Amino acid sequence: MTARAQVLLVDDEANIRRMLAALLRQEGFTVAEAPNGNAALLQLDDVDPDVVLLDLLMPPGPDGLETLTRMRERGRGTPVIMMSGKAQLADAVRAVKLGAFQFLEKPLTPESVLVTVRAALELNRARAENRALHAELGRRSALVGESAAMQDVRGLIDRVAPTEARVLLTGESGTGKELAAAAVHGASRRAGRPFVTVNCAAIPRDLVESEMFGHERGAFTGATERRLGRFELAHTGTLFLDEIGDLSADAQAKLLRTLETGEIQRLGAEGSQRVDVRIIAATNQRLEESVAEGTFREDLFFRLNVVPIRLPPLRERLADLPALVAHLAERVRPRQGLVFTPEALAALARYAWPGNVRELANLVERLGILSGPTVGADAVREVLRSGPAPAATVLPEQPLSDALDEYERGLIRTALRQAQGSVAEAARLLRTDRANLYRRMRRLGLDWT
């Protein structure tokens, strides 16, 4: 990261620029220099820095605070490190309000400069990952489907999102817990702030504390630079702790302490610092059983389980299958089009879906590659490599007539969407006549206007 990182150094004293530029280049950074605020603003588009070192006092032009203000007005979110030997407390407060990353006092030390620049770059990297995650979540679209089960989930999200309550998402693997977490964040007052995810099951046990809370340079063997933890990166935003049930006992204790105090301490740091983070956790385990077995702390469970939301497995929301398939097909072939026949959808509905929506997404992508643009029942059965799932594994939790009606509504909605609202074209896609389709829509309460 540091070998290609671009630093813009803004200071009216040539000696300071020369000293800092030599230090940063020796560490592998690319450095651009500007003697004042106006020159810095002119260079922004050409240089596109990853971090800016900005002096506070630069007479006679705009000072550092004015330069920072103009950067923010241009929509520049680049981390800015302010430097000054004559700063007042009011200057530091204003700089923080304008979004300055850090305030360094002169005379500068090489260690403080390098540690702060690397931390700012780590923040920049995390922000880029966060933007990419938001873009991906936007492309995937959250919580597709209008079944009763999904309407219940949406209702809970709508009620809990505006609050600061912690949320525990439960459900089998592949049911969309991360999408639900993103939906809670997106509907909250923290929307637009960081949404940081941690897969607790993927972190090596000896690195959990470093990953969560960060570390200082030299805190342990291999800690060659300061690293911000996920709590710090999620400050003012939301931290999504996926697979929370896989945390070790030590990690559970440290997490509980942070939830109780609102403070974190980096490994190797002398003091702690406060963080403002909303926690959303998720698990595919039965944490109540883990608590009873002594493998998960009861006090931590109660802290996390303020508002539980269960994501239903796909076999309990088969009415959403047509809409999900249409949505996933659009992702696979957005331009050429990918259509599943009613027989293909019926074949999909007979499958047990142990991998839920994630498994469905993989299957739709495979069928789009092997069979498109029109997918029939034979192609579905061939890819599934099995006959229909045993009836006992797919029994709905509602009366049969209601389940069939929901499934039929999903089929008709999908056909109408693909037909751009034309009932005649939808009838052709469903291989029925228009009069019959009108009758079915009237019985099911579907609007065709």
Instruction: State the DSSP string of 255-292.
Output: HHHHHHHSEE--BT-SS-EE---EEEEEESS-HHHHHH
Q: Which helix (H) or strand (E) holds 252?
A: helix 249-261
Give the confidence band of 9 by pLDDT, cuts at 50, 70, 90: very high
Using one digit for the tens of pLDDT, what is the confidence trace for 292-325?
A: 989 999 999 999 999 999 999 999 999 999 999 9
CATH assignment of 315-444, among 1.10.490.10, 2.40.50.60, 1.10.287.3240, 1.10.8.60:
1.10.8.60
Sheet holding 278-283, edge to edge: 195-199, 238-242, 278-283, 167-170, 307-310
Sheet holding 30-34, edge to edge: 30-34, 6-10, 51-55, 80-84, 102-105
Give the span between the Cα atoms of 92 and 115, in whole angstroms.
19
Give the span between the Cα atoms of 436 and 115, in whole angstroms.
71
Using one digit for the tens of pLDDT, what is the confidence trace for 74-98?
A: 777 789 999 987 767 777 777 877 7
pLDDT value at position 1?
41
How many other C-beta atoms can be found within 10 angstroms of the C-beta atom of residue 350?
Answer: 18
pLDDT value at position 441?
86
| φ/ψ (deg, to 5) at 145 | 125, 150
Q: Which helix (H) or strand (E) holds 51?
A: strand 51-55
The CATH number of the structural domain formed by 141-310 is 3.40.50.300
How far is Cα of residue 287 from the mean position of the Cα atoms in its chain? Answer: 23
Give the confidence band of 291 by pLDDT, cuts at 50, 70, 90: very high
Residue pair 411/345 in contact (Cβ under 8 Å)? The answer is yes
Asked if residue 322 has a cis previous peptide bond (ω within 30° of 0), the answer is: no
Q: Percent of the chain, pLDDT > 90?
A: 35
Give the span between the Cα atoms of 307 and 163, in whole angstroms.
11
pLDDT value at position 24?
93
| φ/ψ (deg, to 5) at 327 | -65, -45
For CATH 3.40.50.300, list the domain ranges present in the chain.
141-310
- Mean pLDDT over each residue of the chain, to the nearest integer: 84
DSSP lists the bridge partners of residue 54 as: 10, 82
DSSP lists the bridge partners of residue 104 as: 83
For CATH 1.10.8.60, list the domain ranges present in the chain.
315-444
Give the span between the Cα atoms of 386 and 389, in whole angstroms.
8
Query: Nearest CA to 27 among 108, 118, 142?
Result: 118
Using one digit for the tens of pLDDT, what is the confidence trace for 377-410?
A: 999 988 887 433 333 344 455 566 776 777 788 7
Using one digit for the tens of pLDDT, what is the confidence trace for 35-65?
A: 998 899 888 878 889 999 999 888 777 888 8
pLDDT value at position 136?
54
Does the CA dihedral 315-316-318-323 come out positive or negative? negative
Helical pair 400-418 and 342-349, crossing angle rounded to 10 deg: 140
Residue pair 111/151 in contact (Cβ under 8 Å)? The answer is no
User: Average pLDDT in the 227-246 region?
Assistant: 89
Query: Nearest CA to 408 among 387, 375, 436, 372?
Result: 436
Give the confidence band of 133 by pLDDT, cuts at 50, 70, 90: low
pLDDT value at position 134?
56
- Looking up tokens 């046990």 gives 205
pLDDT value at position 216?
79
Give the confidence band of 334 by pLDDT, cuts at 50, 70, 90: low
Determine the topology of domain 6-123 in CATH. Rossmann fold (3.40.50)
For CATH 3.40.50.2300, list the domain ranges present in the chain.
6-123
Query: Nearest CA to 320 among 352, 347, 284, 357?
Result: 357
Is the pTM higher than 0.75? The answer reads: no
